[in-house]
Chain A
Amino acid sequence: EAGVAQSPRYKIIEKRQSVAFWCNPISGHATLYWYQQILGQGPKLLIQFQNNGVVDDSQLPKDRFSAERLKGVDSTLKIQPAKLEDSAVYLCASSLRVGTSGWNEQFFGPGTRLTVL
């Protein structure tokens, strides 16, 4: 079974530029997550989709970050314009459809390392 795919693996941009990351979850996984992991910290959830609907974007800086999941499969996370503090690894994860109880294992992709100069 193929895992969560992400691209690109690395990206270097200058501040105020735009950047986009792509994620392809495991086939059949209804729930998709984007995490931001700043160096020296644990991952922080930015946004969570269930199929193509957003269920949690409380920690997404909406003035510069946006995300979409068209057709409930692939997802794109965009930063426009980027700031120095956006330098981080952006992790995508997916899991089977979840409700408000119980849990399903989240499978993570390899991440995209973003450097903003």
Chain B
Amino acid sequence: AQKITQTQPGMFVQEKEAVTLDCTYDTSDPSYGLFWYKQPSSGEMIFLIYQGSYDQQNATEGRYSLNFQKARKSANLVISASQLGDSAMYFCAMREANTGFQKLVFGTGTRLLVSP
């Protein structure tokens, strides 16, 4: 079964608007972490934001926020005030505590295109 599901292959947004990238996950481990990474065309993976399963508040990092709905097992990334430089692939990933040693499982990604 897919551990991480990203159902949006591609998303379009206009500059300065907000966009939500969807991510749902599947785990029976009560302790887990959820991550979002950005992959520009240059190829490297850039860490954006982290949410722990026991965190009471949604994580926020600058223009990035994570809409964490534990009961629905969703961890959507919200990018506010989109910029042209936000055009990239975005990956959701999960780490389960019972796998130990920081193993990350990634989704298939969403390609975001920001237009002027």
Contact = CB atoms under 8 A, between A and B. Distances in A.
B91 interface: yes
B101 A55 contact: yes
Contact of A42 (B31, B33, B46, B107): B107
A14 to B, nearest CB: 23
Given A43-B106, A50-B101, A111-B43, 19 more contacts: A3-B44, A31-B101, A42-B109, A43-B91, A45-B104, A48-B102, A56-B101, A91-B43, A91-B44, A95-B102, A99-B101, A100-B97, A103-B50, A103-B95, A103-B102, A105-B50, A106-B102, A106-B104, A109-B44
B45 A93 contact: yes
B91 A42 contact: yes
B33 A103 contact: yes
Interface of A: 3, 31, 40-45, 48, 50, 55-56, 89, 91, 93, 95, 98-101, 103-111, 113
Nearest to B9: A40
Interface of B: 4, 31, 33, 42-47, 50, 91, 93, 95, 97, 100-109
30 contacts: A3-B44, A31-B101, A40-B108, A41-B108, A42-B107, A42-B108, A43-B91, A44-B106, A45-B103, A48-B101, A48-B102, A48-B103, A55-B100, A56-B103, A89-B43, A91-B44, A91-B45, A98-B102, A100-B101, A101-B31, A101-B97, A103-B50, A104-B102, A105-B47, A105-B50, A106-B47, A106-B102, A107-B47, A108-B45, A110-B43
Contacts of A95: 102
